[in-house]
Structure 1
Amino acid sequence: MTEKVFLVGVGMTKFEKPESRDWHYWDMAKEAGEAALADAGIGYDLVEQAAVGYCHQQSTAGQRAVYTIGLSGVPVYNVNNNCATGSTALMMARQFVAGGLNDCVLALGFEQMSKGALGGGAGAGGFAASPVARHYGVMAARHGFEATPPTAQIFGNAAREHMERHGTTAEQLALVGVKNHRHSTANPRAQFRDEYSLEEVLGARTIHAPLTKLQCSPTSDGGAAAVVASERFVREHRLEERAVEIVAQAMTTDTEESFASGSCIDVVGKPMSREAGRAVFEQSGLGIEDVDVIELHDCFSINELLTYEALGMCPDGAAGKLVAEGATTYGGRWVVNPSGGLISKGHPLGATGLAQCAELVWQLRGEADGRQVPGARVGLAHNIGLGGAAVVTMLRR
């Protein structure tokens, strides 16, 4: 048996272009963490453990970050799972509570990044030592390796394969960018809040064909946090009106399926996403048809389309048609990325998964203001990182 687990407080900073604001990662952590505690109406003294995620800071940066919130001596776990880091920290916090070890845990994520495109993760020892060398090796065997940013290149090649295999068009890919930039105009915490026409998205600078700049997530600075609590804690602190239940959650990593086909569609994580979604639907007893609002990992427009298919929102190959029909925006079957998604809200790696969680909590509470999804009661978050990890979370109010 596992305990029920609830989100009782969430918070996040505004996501910013790197070096545009005079702050440090510990400032981001303090702002987001204190906002989450204030949202829950509790003090840091009630937090029993902290799971803290980041990718670009040094070891034990988690301690440096939470020390700005309080010096209570609680265990701090430093988490790095590439772009799925924030949701991994959330999953650790949930497991502590679900297993009965704790009643109140803080999940915190942040990132202070450099300007420019995200690198390929070669680091010390060169590309051969990179954790994603096998992933890029699959791409290179089929498509070669060009001088464009490697993450855009591997997702761009996945887009090319989807176009060749299913007839997906450049216009359908661009519509993801159109939709998510439009959604972000109602989000005061988004890095970008400009609306663009289809022609403007298609005509933006090409990063790796067919992906243009307005279909790619930027580098970002920012933080996000969530207070995770047991049913007992919710009851004792009278938080029932604020609490949102984590109904189910699953993480998957790569299997042979990711690499065996030689396809970039598989190597960027579609099989992982499909399996994580399947596990969550099985755990929760809910299906994709029960979901009202979705925050998913649109690091590039193609990944939003691949995730539609992985989650069973449409058959394989039909994702381009789904977005073109307006099924994933206001007035459609689901509202996907009402926050603006990674493409427009921003993508500070360690904070991304927790920012998705914050948006869904606000949506399910009816607190999302101008971007509110009417009647939202069930939300789903999808966060993925190359290397790889996919985390899917089902929330219900």
Structure 2
Amino acid sequence: MKSYIVGVGMTRFEKPESRDWQYWDMAKEAGAAALADAGVEYGLVEQVPVGYCFQASTAGQRAAYELGLSGVPVYNVNNNCATGSTALMMARQFVEGGINDCVLALGFEKMKRGALGGGSDGGDFATSPVARHYGIMAAGHGFEMSPPTAQIFGNAAREHMERHGTTPAQLAAVGEKNHRHSANNPNAQFRDVYSVEEILAAKPIHAPLTKLQCSPTSDGAAAALVVSERFVVRHGLHGKAVEIAAQAMTTDTGASFASGSCIDVVGKPMTAAAARQVYEASGLGIEDVDVVELHDCFSINELLTYEALGMCADGASGKLVESGATTYGGRWVVNPSGGLISKGHPLGATGLAQAAELVWQLRGEAGPRQVPGAGVGLAHNIGLGGAAVVTLLRR
């Protein structure tokens, strides 16, 4: 059975504590926008998977209740930075499995200022869900005082530079591109444009990464309404419907840890495996994709993801971004929203915001950031600990 996204919505992503709102306020805003986009009443929604990382148990109910007290099942989802796409995957499975015709996937996060800790618990590394991942990093690179997530990705960047000759300027080119793209996104946390030189000169976080190559903490929410083909027909939603052509989630295997490399620990093997699955399931390949929203939590992860998705050979991602192949006028447009680096990264909302951007792109509704002729979109969302979700959308 096929599944379709017929409504999407999101709040503006904002710096934590910059607006007087609660997580249920932002969830209501995003969820109501998705329902309004589809022209569907909340009373038709049969289940609600809700993603978040930093709120208490059953916060999903507290948020969904703002949309209505219909008594439908609400699921609380936490998969680190891949939480939003995990909620979307649950919604798709409910529909494609024939369980439901109409499911609302909702994600939100209300965060604190400052860098993230070593996992969603923010606590002792010995008991952290990502203790194994950081142990691999420490064995190869030591453990410093810089923010741990920036540290593990920064060390992946160092390995990439040593193996493949990737340059600091190529890493900075990712930040330059995504900040430039976000200037046309009213929902982005940051809309300033920077040169490669300005990005290289920004505050160091963990060399070679500077502040303008790192995603910020953010407040925000996003939502997607997923429905069956018969629901589309019954409610006349053909003009809104974007098909979920394929979707896959993978988690860590031995390949993540066997090499002792931070490149593998941060998820490149998971992403490559998920991409293979969606290409096989859909009959589409990266050559068919027009627009990509991928998980650029740090500039190096965008480069690693190019390689994992098959956009270039291993080690060639620095040259790919430098060539202009991943911006307007190139082979693909990657992160037209500004990506996590500039649009922002409220963990529970990120994957659903990626889906929203792609739906707008595939409908031709993205305004000044529209990718001309976009017909196939790919979303990539990853979380340490770990989970990688790749989604192919088709108009």
Normalised TM-score (structure 2): 0.99
Residues 1:78 and 2:101 aligned together: no
How far apart are the structure 2 equivalents of 1:121 and 1:198?
30
SS at match of 2:90: helix
Question: Aligned pair 1:315/2:282, yes or no?
Answer: no
Say which of 122, 129, 132 aligns to 1:131: 129
> How far apart in 1 are the matches of 2:227 and 2:244?
10
* 1:217 paired residue among 210, 215, 218: 215
The aligned residue for residue 355 of structure 1 is 353
Task: Tell me the equivalent position of 2:107.
Answer: 109
Secondary structure of the structure 2 residue equivalent to 1:96 = helix
- Residue 394 of structure 2 corresponds to 396
Task: Return the offset for 1:194.
Answer: 0.2
In 1, the alpha carbon distance for the partners of 2:380 and 2:52 equals 18
Name the stretch that deviates more: 117-126 or 37-46. 117-126
> 1:122, 1:128 within 8 Å by CA — same for their partners in 2?
no
| Residue 104 to residue 331, structure 1, CA distance change in 2 (3 Å) | same
Report the secondary structure of 1:250's partner residue: strand
Match of 1:149 among 144, 147, 156: 147
User: Quick one: distance in 2 between partners of 1:338 and 1:122?
Assistant: 28
How big is the shift at 1:28? 0.6
The answer (yes or no) to whether the contact 1:108–1:226 under 8 Å persists in 2 is yes
Q: Is the aligned partner of 1:48 residue 2:46?
A: yes
**Structure 1 residue 122, shift from structure 2 partner:** 7.7
Q: Using the TM superposition, name which of 317-326 and 118-127 deviates more.
A: 118-127
Q: What displacement does 1:121 show?
A: 2.4
Equivalent residue for 1:171? 169
| Matched residue type, 2:296 | D
Q: CA deviation at 1:124?
A: 8.2
Q: Does 1:368 align with 2:357?
A: no
Q: In 2, distance between residues paired with 1:182 and 1:41? A: 33
Q: Structure 2: how far apart are the matches of 1:75 and 1:278?
A: 32
For residues 177-197 of structure 1, the C-alpha deviation after alignment (integer angstroms, 9 at most, x for no partner) is 000000000000000000001
Q: How does 1:226-237 map to 2 (within 5 A)?
A: 226-237=224-235
Question: Is it true that 1:291 corresponds to 2:286 in the alignment?
Answer: no
Give 2:31's match in structure 1, choosing from 23, 30, 33. Answer: 33
- Specify the code of the residue in structure 2 equivalent to 1:164: E
Query: For 1:190-232, what per-residue CA distance to the aligned partner results, in whole angstroms no more than 9, with x for missing partners?
Result: 0000000111000000000000000000000000000000000
Q: How does 1:323-338 map to 2 (within 5 A)?
A: 323-338=321-336
| Separation in 1, partners of 2:120, 2:146 | 15
Q: Is the 8 A contact 1:122 1:129 kept in 2?
A: no
In 1, Cα distance between equivalents of 2:351 and 2:90: 13
Whole-Å separation in 2 of the counterparts to 1:125 and 1:93: 31
- How many residues get paired? 395
Partner Cα separation in structure 2 for residue 123 and residue 316 of structure 1: 33
Cα distance in 2 between the residues matched to 1:123 and 1:153 = 18
Give 2:380's aligned residue. 382
Equivalent position amino acid for 2:289 in 1: V
Q: Confirm or deny: 8 A CA contact 1:98 1:230 kept in the other structure.
A: yes
Report the Cα distance in structure 1 between the residues aligned to 2:63 and 2:10, rounded to whole angstroms. 14
* Unaligned runs of at least 5 residues, structure 1: none
Which amino acid is 1:25 matched to? Answer: Y
CA shift for structure 1 position 127: 1.6
- CA gap of 1:80–1:155, structure 2 versus 1, over 3 A, is same
Report Cα offsets for 1:71-120 as digits up to 9, x if no partner.
Answer: 00000000000000000000000000000000000000000000000111
Task: Name the amino acid aligned to 1:257.
Answer: A
Letter in 1 for 2:73: P
Paired residue for 1:305? 303
- Residue type at the aligned position of 1:76: V
Specify the code of the residue in structure 1 equivalent to 2:354. Q
Matches of 2:340 and 2:302, distance apart in 1:
10
- 8 Å contact 1:82–1:387 — kept in the other structure? yes
Q: CA deviation at 1:129?
A: 0.6
CA contact (8 A) 2:48 2:104 kept: yes
- Look up the equivalent residue of 2:142 and give its one-letter code: G
Residue 126 of structure 1 deviates from its aligned partner by: 2.2
Give secondary structure in 2 for the equivalent of 1:298: coil
1:261-300 map, 5 Å: 261-300=259-298
Deviation at 1:125, TM superposition (A): 7.0
Q: What's the secondary structure of 1:262's corresponding residue?
A: coil
Asked if 1 retains the 8 angstrom alpha-carbon contact of 2:275 and 2:308, the reply is yes
Letter in 2 for 1:234: V
The runs of 5 or more residues in structure 2 that have no matched partner are: none
SS in 2 for 1:63: helix
